[in-house]
Chains A and B, each alone.
Chain A
Amino acid sequence: MTKNADKSPLNITLDNVGHGFSLTDGSEIKLFSDVSMQIKAHQVTSIMGHSGSGKSTLLAIIAGLHQPNQGQVSYQLQSGQTLNTEQFRQRSGFVFQHFHLLNELDTLNNVALPLRLRGDKNAFDIAADWLDKVGLAARSKQPVNRLSGGEQQRVAIARAFAAEPDVVFADEPTGSLDEMTADKVFEVMFRCSEQNGNALVLVTHNEELSRQATQQFRLSHGKLEVVA
């Protein structure tokens, strides 16, 4: 359960990836095809697109949660070692649109959760540190269901970064928040990513926020276009 000792930076490469699904009548819906991209360590990557364009599916494929119908995804450390999906998943974290905090746990325990599960003896200290970084140190003993939406998402961000993953995936992390709160959450997320030195891959509708990413893509009509 302990994290891989090799701390050298991680690159993700997608090579001609394509995906779709079959309907019950046998017809096939193609979501996207020929997607090739590289996500480098320390980079913030944003993927935009309309609803139903397949961007969440693409995120799941990059995160190793789905096998693509075509092409392949590889995870390679700069030391040259290639990781399999399971090894990669141990070095990644997630931020969900609906936060998915455990209501039974207080704020501190929610953040400490991944560390405790991995057997980290300093779990609570690290978690307290991260709560401080996201500006919620004063709320550490509060039940999470008493926090506002923006605060809950900041707890979720602290939780994702606390385990020091190489990559954090965020699917519409501000989808449930108002514009002002969304800005703050993005700011926190970018800052955490920068401080941690990990890659951040996010899916969003919000073009303005997306522009802050190091590399920006748009999924449209089944193709991935580079925006910037």
Chain B
Amino acid sequence: MTAIRIAWQLFWHQSKTGKNTLLLLTLFSLSFYLCLISLVGSSVQQHLAHNLNELLGADSLLVSDHALNEQQLQQVESFAAKLSATTMVSMTLTHKEKWQSAQIKGVDSNYPLAGRVRVAKAAVGEALRLSHGPRVGNIWLDSVLLSRLGITVGEQMIVAGKTLKVSGVLRFEPDRLIEGHTVKLRAMMAMNDFVEVSGQSEVKYRYLLKNDANQQQALSQWIEQNQPQWQLVSSALGSHPLAAIWLRIEKFIGLSAILLFVLGAITLDLTSNRLLKAQQHFFAVCMSAGMLRTGVIQASLWLFVLTLLATLVPAALLAVVVEKNAVAAMQQFFPAIVSNWQLGELLGVSALCLLLFVVNQLPAWLALWRVSITDLLSETSLSVSKRLLRTVFPLLGLLVLVGYYSDNWRLTVLVLLVIGFGILLLMFFSWLVIVPGERLARNKSGLLSFALYMMRQRLVVKSAQIMGIGLSLILVILCLRMTDDFTQMFDKITLDRDGDLLITKATEKQHKDLLSWATKTGSKAMGFSPFVLSRLVAVNNKPLLQHTSGPSGSLSELSNGVHLTWNQTLPSNNQLIKGKWKGQWDRAAKQGLQQLSVEDEVAVDIGLNVGDQLSFNVGGATHDFTVGAIHQFKAGASAMTFWFVLMGEKPATLGAPSNYMGSIKVSDGGWDSVGQLWQTHPTLQMMPLKIVKQKLKQFTNTGVAIVLLFNVFITLMSLLVLLASVQGFAEDDRKRNGLILSFGLSRRHCLYVIGFEWLITALIASFGALFGTLLAGELLYQEQFGMDYKPQWLWLILTTLSATGGIAALGIWLCRGSLKVSVTDLLNERVEVA
């Protein structure tokens, strides 16, 4: 009982005097963040995974040119929990006098595996969300097909000699995106009917699979060894763009959690250092008053328990409450999201926090166990072995805990490498600035030389402060960079700045009619670009297949034909990363070939560079151009980018007629007359994107919310690091300022000294962080996100300078307490215990 009473007495005293406030705040914040992240993360991840399933319709998709036989089906089913077979054929549908080419999908009774099919009873009106495809004897047509064939729901039509009832208007297929964007008109029927109608046509066999990442990996390997002609599109393996983005979000969550963990550990170390010393002093006094060593250790353990009760427990409870409210608030934006976490997750993360705190506390307990009263009471500095113990323990503990927490050892090792390198860099910078600076100023007088001298004397402890701040800064800058890059990435896929009716091919006449239709219906035409269909046939006079060394995604697209566009100026959604844009190309005035710009990923994929000569086949004739620039997508405008953009006007020699590509933001009333537009121009290729856009928006909004949330957490945690590093020196600074005042100098002079110190600290931390961020970007971007890290120097330097100013200002502001000291405080000073 004595141990509990003493622990309570010490805890109460520390709380009342505010000595443990920062420690409690750190423990509370870290526990709260980690608990909240686990809980919200669990709900959001399930929501996003569900959303992704809604978008992809399955975990993976296997595509084959032939139907799988029984044995093959069994093999594939062994890698999946569920399988749905679908088939696809292009054929011409007729009704009365009308005909229309369309893509017909046959689906089995398992379809869809994820998400819902949306089917309406009429061209206009609400759609039902169904978990099955059409019944035998039924067919669903999309609204445009319905309109073009002049048929209504309830009527019958004959498809390849079989009579089918049109029983619905097909609005949305959950597996549509996994197939990639296509503008073909769609129809869906039951698999049994499909077998009868497909006949001799070229059929694509597509098998939707419900399987986890391990099964997908195993299936991928099996296909590679046994059926290399099959194609596997997998969410876990990131072969679909959306799935790849989802993987990046998951990795970002993992990384941010590790960063939070590391920041928490730094804050804990900075905060608890002084407090533990005071506690040891208190316990030494107890021991000198006759308390047994075991009693003292018991008291220390009880003090730890009290600290946990005041931090971890309320933090976990608060996280539960906040998660419920946050999810409820999120439902306004993401109606399908539900609070969905398990008690085990909460207990797991709480246990992890507990372990982190234990690791932090362990050296203090060991010290109590081993040292004598005189050791505890003496003011001597820590011995090397004790200092090692104090440093190695938290580091080792951190390594194990972070690895366990993140479940991604590779990422953990990379982050720790970044941190290790950051520490070395910051130590080097500290030494580089402070030591020679102090040498230069040693024989000079004045406040700056005094500040440098003090920093030199405090180099070891000062380095810890600089490292804490510098590391936080590396992480904050890295997170800001990632937020920017992720937002751009989301921007690219949301089609946010494009209309909801995508026009992939319109002739000159159709284009004009579209524009006048848009004006008439109050709709808005967005970013139409002219193009001709072309095929890249040679690079530097070498056939394309000889130019590229291996198979590539771009290559198959290129051989099928690509859109070749032209523009006087660089399109607003592009930015050049190599070469120059020469819009005023004039064949008469210039020698050589007209230049074009190639999209970065294509250039990398098939190995193109500025100066290469490309030969395109357009309308049967070959045209040569030179690569003058490489461009890439830039957020803020349309998501539609062309792989090849001719600089300048359309060459007169390109005889092929121009087509147009773009989109229209259709007004509410406009949707009713889309069918009419199609009837007037049956060959117009367009595709409504409304539902797809809504879902993409929902997906990316969640992603942005996650990235921002983590940024806020990391910034707040960094502020705590700063606060802890200030508090660690508060007593020393107060004494120093008191002395300066006792020498007859004013508070203004104390402020100058603090200002110089913080400016030097901020400069070292910021510039160390600048280089640390570069390394972190190089290591983490490619390895974890599959993204190229391209440092934006201006942005980095501006961020570094702002950070320097911000940290210096914040440091000075936080240190203002040490200015409140007076000479009388020094006169009246009494030795304090704990």
Q: Which residues of A contact B (CB under 8 A)?
A: 1, 56, 59-60, 63, 65-66, 86, 89-94, 96-98, 100, 102, 104-105, 109, 113-121, 123-124, 145, 163, 165, 171
Contacts and interface: CB of A to CB of B under 8 A. Distances in A.
Given A65-B822, A89-B744, A121-B445, A56 B450 contact: no
B826 A96 contact: yes
A104 B449 contact: no
A121 B735 CA distance: 25
A22 to B, nearest CB: 17
B745 A59 contact: no
Contact of B823 (A65, A105, A117, A145): A65
A1 B745 CA distance: 7
A66 B829 CA distance: 16
Nearest to B822: A65
A165 B743 CA distance: 9
A171 B827 CA distance: 7
B828 interface: yes
Contacts of A123: 445
A210 to B, nearest CB: 18
Interface of B: 379, 443-447, 449-450, 453-454, 457-458, 732, 735-736, 738-740, 742-746, 749, 822-824, 826-829, 831
Contacts of B445: 115-121, 123
A97 B740 CA distance: 17
Given A94-B823, A96-B826, A96-B827, A114 B743 contact: yes
A100 B735 CA distance: 7
A178 B450 CA distance: 34
A97 B828 CA distance: 9
A86 B826 contact: no
B509 to A, nearest CB: 84
Nearest to A91: B744
B457 A105 contact: yes
Contacts of B458: 104
Nearest to A163: B743
Contact of A94 (B443, B749, B826): B826
A98 B445 CA distance: 27
A118 B749 CA distance: 10
Given A1-B749, A98-B829, A119-B445, A93 B743 contact: yes
Nearest to A110: B739
Given A96-B742, A102-B736, A114-B743, 6 more contacts: A60-B823, A60-B827, A65-B823, A92-B744, A93-B743, A117-B740
B446 A119 contact: yes
* Residue of B445, B458, B738, B826 with highest tally of chain A CB at under 10 A: B445
A161 B387 CA distance: 38
A1 to B, nearest CB: 7
* Residue of A102, A115, A116 with highest tally of chain B CB at under 10 A: A116
B435 to A, nearest CB: 15
Contacts of B449: 116
A102 B453 CA distance: 12
10 contacts: A98-B826, A98-B831, A100-B735, A105-B454, A114-B744, A115-B445, A116-B449, A116-B450, A117-B446, A121-B445
Contacts of A114: 743-744
Contacts of B823: 60, 63, 65, 94
Contacts of A102: 454, 735-736, 739
